[in-house]
A and B are shown apart, each in its own frame.
Chain A
């Protein structure tokens, strides 16, 4: 190979690598968010490894917020606005959704925890956000959420806010948005 061909090959492979790197940023971003809790991203389903000590001396307030994304007609609300819990104990609450419109819609809830640095300490053992909900006209549903607040939650955190945004992921929703 001539000098020129060698340099071109090196530069071209750099370009190809950087194209791949752009896509590599997607999983890297997910890992970074999961590790640090950036964006309040919570991890997936939590399997308790051992029965953890319940910290009876400490109270943490967990608040629940629900939002509908654009083009989402469901009624969506927590059955309890907030709960006072001990770190380490398993708590259960429910969220209510109802489809008031005359067509079948598929919904996906996306969670976010505030403050961000506490996101990694809210573990969900069961959550409706792990699956999608398909509701026909008038159908209503009480959706369960079971969670544990980690007993290693930083001492400065006394209140956690768990927010759910409900997305309409039926094909028609995208068509309307356009």
Chain B
């Protein structure tokens, strides 16, 4: 065993430059998490502008041109700026500790992949102040809306997407190399915690589809500036081709935003049920199956563009098939809780809410997969309700659960349980008031992305807007709780949670700046 390690003698550098030059996985994870929280608030402000305008029918606050810029930017920022960097941040903080590695495999590239992001989003947000305004074609930027009819700032949007893509690809390469090459001796793949497994699969998805996204925006760039006609029918191209390429990226992308959440929940539920995870191996295989299926179902986003009946049927059945591995996961989580000695600390509350509300989003997804029904639901608020149910109480709740669960390990202090539970209940109530009524207005025919609507949708929209403000402002409490925990609080033990399994719980709290400079030896309880 090595006892002399030069790095043990010093902690992080002092001052601001520590954060600019850092190659430490915990520092970079922290940067990612704070950045994603900042983007979460930015995108949240845009959501509140949208909900304020929709509080009543008629145009009160903003013009339609600005409204559609808000829906576009809200989507782009939440997807690429909030959810994805939050998961990458968690991966950075946790994966080296979970597999018993001293750091990420390529620390300097890690630094670079984070520091691209503020510039990418600076570029994207700066388009709000450009002539012609920000991108106004929805986060899916369908051609020809984005090519022939987009504002001049579309070019900046394209470069911002290129930069986000480079960042994601570098981050994913780093995560895969860390998991494949830096595991502690004796840690076989099937001993890894499920969070590591889900991230390994997610990283492969990212490497497979982020380049396709880069390709499609490059084609847009060429159509706009170099007179090509990839998506222009007049020049021999096809606008429907855009949708195929976009959703070939887009569908795996939605699983990129949920698979790490599955991993988080699979860590938290066993801890607070005080049982081992039910069906660990089936969880791994289910994750892999979902990842595979995500590549062969993309056209269910475009049932109404005119696909031959055989194509519609194939994409319908293939989409429904995804419910099977997802059902396996939900079953395993419930079976883990079954007859467990459950306690309901804040992370567990968020995790259980995840299981319930994500399932609701899954069921509305199943409804949307039915071709004849989808012709009714397409582009209505029902779709908005569906994907917000899987993304907000799905992905976002899982990130919050993860922050509460691992915060004592990161800071060495326990968070305030009463405040945490308050935050949970405000968020839980707020989110359901916001998005549940949107199912009803959607089924009644209210379209997406409109600033004004007929009178019959007024009541549900008002309810929805009230819920949005409750949820939005509750997040300031979340910020307060995190800052309070960083500054002090009851000291956390090494174990933190009585029923927790995993290597991260064998090191002191707060986790030292450098961990596992010598690999751990006891790997029997590496996963939950």
Q: Which positions in A face B, CB cutoff 8 Å?
A: 3-4, 7-8, 11-12, 14-23, 25-26, 29, 33, 36, 38-39, 69, 108, 110, 116-117, 165, 167-169, 174, 177-178
Instruction: Report whether A8 and B106 are in contact in the complex, using a CB–CB cutoff of 8 Å.
Output: yes
Instruction: Report whether B234 and A108 are in contact in the complex, using a CB–CB cutoff of 8 Å.
Output: yes
- Within the complex, the shortest CB–CB distance from A142 to chain B, in Å, comes to 22
Those of B144-171 within 8 Å (CB) of chain A: 148-150, 152, 169
B41 at the interface (CB under 8 A from A): no
Instruction: Report whether B238 and A39 are in contact in the complex, using a CB–CB cutoff of 8 Å.
Output: yes
Given contacts A29-B238, A177-B149, A178-B148, A11 and B215 within 8 Å (CB-CB): no
Instruction: Report whether A19 and B308 are in contact in the complex, using a CB–CB cutoff of 8 Å.
Output: no
27 A-B residue pairs with Cβ-Cβ distance under 8 Å, sorted by A, are A4-B106, A4-B181, A7-B176, A7-B177, A7-B181, A8-B106, A8-B177, A11-B172, A11-B177, A15-B169, A15-B211, A19-B212, A22-B219, A22-B248, A23-B215, A23-B219, A25-B245, A26-B230, A26-B245, A29-B238, A29-B241, A36-B308, A108-B235, A110-B233, A116-B306, A117-B308, A168-B234
Instruction: Report whether B219 and A19 are in contact in the complex, using a CB–CB cutoff of 8 Å.
Output: no
Those of B189-227 within 8 Å (CB) of chain A: 207-216, 219
Q: Which residues of A contact B148 (CB under 8 A)?
A: 174, 177-178
Given contacts A19-B211, A39-B238, A12 and B105 within 8 Å (CB-CB): no
Q: Tell me, in angstroms, the Cα distance from A91 to B463 when the chains sit together.
A: 63
Q: Taking each of B213, B234, B240, B306, which has the highest tally of chain A beta carbons within 10 Å of its own beta carbon?
A: B234
CB-CB nearest in chain A for B237 = A26
Q: Tell me, in angstroms, the Cα distance from A19 to B148 when the chains sit together.
A: 24
The 3 closest A-B pairs by CB, nearest first: A22-B215, A167-B234, A19-B211
B76 at the interface (CB under 8 A from A): no
CB-CB nearest in chain A for B150 = A178
Instruction: Report whether B245 and A18 are in contact in the complex, using a CB–CB cutoff of 8 Å.
Output: no
CB-CB nearest in chain A for B149 = A177
B173 at the interface (CB under 8 A from A): yes
Instruction: Report whether B240 and A15 are in contact in the complex, using a CB–CB cutoff of 8 Å.
Output: no
Q: Tell me, in angstroms, the Cα distance from A25 to B298 when the chains sit together.
A: 14
Q: Taking each of A8, A33, A169, which has the highest tally of chain B beta carbons within 10 Å of its own beta carbon?
A: A8
Instruction: Report whether B207 and A11 are in contact in the complex, using a CB–CB cutoff of 8 Å.
Output: yes
Q: Tell me, in angstroms, the Cα distance from A25 to B295 when the chains sit together.
A: 14
The number of residues on chain B lying at the interface, defined by a beta carbon within 8 Å of a beta carbon of chain A, is: 40
Q: Tell me, in angstroms, the Cα distance from A4 to B182 when the chains sit together.
A: 9
Q: Which of A12, A25, A69 contacts B234 (CB 8 A)?
A: A69
Given contacts A7-B176, A8-B173, A25-B248, A15 and B238 within 8 Å (CB-CB): no
Q: Tell me, in angstroms, the Cα distance from A130 to B245 when the chains sit together.
A: 27
CB-CB nearest in chain B for A107 = B234
Q: Taking each of A8, A15, A169, which has the highest tally of chain B beta carbons within 10 Å of its own beta carbon?
A: A15
Instruction: Report whether A167 and B233 are in contact in the complex, using a CB–CB cutoff of 8 Å.
Output: yes
Q: Taking each of A11, A14, A39, A168, which has the highest tally of chain B beta carbons within 10 Å of its own beta carbon?
A: A11
- Within the complex, the shortest CB–CB distance from B352 to chain A, in Å, comes to 36
Q: Tell me, in angstroms, the Cα distance from A26 to B238 when the chains sit together.
A: 9
Given A18-B212, A22-B216, A178-B148, 4 new contacts (CB under 8 A) = A15-B173, A38-B311, A110-B236, A167-B233
Q: Which residues of A contact B212 (CB under 8 A)?
A: 18-19, 21-22, 25
Instruction: Report whether A169 and B235 are in contact in the complex, using a CB–CB cutoff of 8 Å.
Output: yes
Q: Which residues of A contact B308 (CB under 8 A)?
A: 36, 38, 116-117
B244 at the interface (CB under 8 A from A): yes
Q: Which of A4, A8, A18, A39 contacts B208 (CB 8 A)?
A: A18
Q: Which residues of B contact A21 (CB under 8 A)?
A: 211-212, 215
